[in-house]
Every structure is written in structure tokens, then in C-alpha cells.
């Protein structure tokens, strides 16, 4: 079971690193990839990106280094909340294609949170 959770942690971290990097450091590419980015303040997009990057680090490092490993499920819970709010945002905008991505990453984050608590 531990190996399965590590694999899920790795997949979640990779996805959040990609998404967070685009939002935080590749704003123009994020605008081209996701229509909603054009309609949200740039600072908010940057904030979401940084939260995703920090969450991705938190999903891996504390558990891997056995340094305050309680931070891993807390980071996963935070990422699940970010994705849940994103899904609500996309539902309100009728962006149903985006919601599937939210469901996948919410599920990964939730599995990590439950598995590591």
C-alpha cells in the first residue's frame, strides 16, 4: 500500500508542478492554454500557481525526508481544497471539460491525504 501511495504522490506532485509552473512563471502560456486565465487577475493566477508549487513540494518532501511527515497529508488536503474550489469555479462558468481535470487531481490529492493521515 505504501508503494501505491508513493506513486500517487509522485503523479499528483508532477501534475501540480506542471500546472503551478505555468500559472506562476509562464503566464502567457497559461493564458493560451486555459481560457479562464484571461478573465482572472494575474496576481490571483500567480497566487494559485505558487500554492500549487508549494503544495507539490509538501506532498513529497516531508514524507520522503521523514521531517515533520504530518505536513504531507496537510499539503495534500490543501491541494484538494484548491482543486475543489477550482471545480466550483469551472462549474459556475460551465467549463465542463476543465472539471474532469479537477476531479482527477482532487482524487489524487484526497488519496494522498487519507493514505498519509
- Would you say how long the chain is, in residues? 117
Band the pLDDT of 117: cuts 50, 70, 90: very high
Residue 75: burial class (beta carbons within 10 Å; 0-12, 13-18, 19+) = buried
- Does position 106 have pLDDT exceeding 90, yes or no? yes
Specify the residue for cell string 474550489: 85
- What does the pLDDT look like over 49-85, one tens digit per residue? 999 999 999 999 999 999 999 999 999 999 999 999 9
Closest CA relative to residue 90, chosen from 39, 42, 44, 46: 39
Band the pLDDT of 96: cuts 50, 70, 90: confident
Report the pLDDT value the prediction gives residue 95, as an integer from 0 to 100: 87
Q: Give the start-to-end residue ranges of the domains of the chain.
A: 2-116
Specify the residue for cell string 525526508: 65
DSSP code of residue 66: T
End-to-end CA, the chain = 14
Question: Rounded to whole angstroms, how far apart are CA atoms 89 and 82?
Answer: 11
Amino acid at each position: 500500500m505504501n508503494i501505491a501511495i508513493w506513486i500517487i504522490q509522485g503523479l499528483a506532485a508532477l501534475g501540480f508542478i506542471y500546472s503551478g509552473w505555468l500559472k506562476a512563471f509562464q503566464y502567457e502560456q497559461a493564458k493560451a492554454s486555459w481560457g479562464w486565465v484571461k478573465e482572472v487577475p494575474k496576481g490571483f493566477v500567480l497566487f494559485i500557481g505558487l500554492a500549487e508549487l508549494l503544495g507539490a513540494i509538501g506532498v513529497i518532501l516531508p514524507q520522503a525526508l521523514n521531517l515533520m511527515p504530518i505536513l504531507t497529508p496537510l499539503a495534500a488536503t490543501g491541494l484538494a481544497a484548491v482543486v475543489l474550489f477550482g471545480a466550483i469555479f469551472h462549474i459556475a462558468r460551465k467549463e465542463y471539460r476543465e472539471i474532469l481535470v479537477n476531479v482527477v487531481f482532487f482524487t489524487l490529492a484526497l488519496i494522498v491525504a487519507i493514505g498519509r493521515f
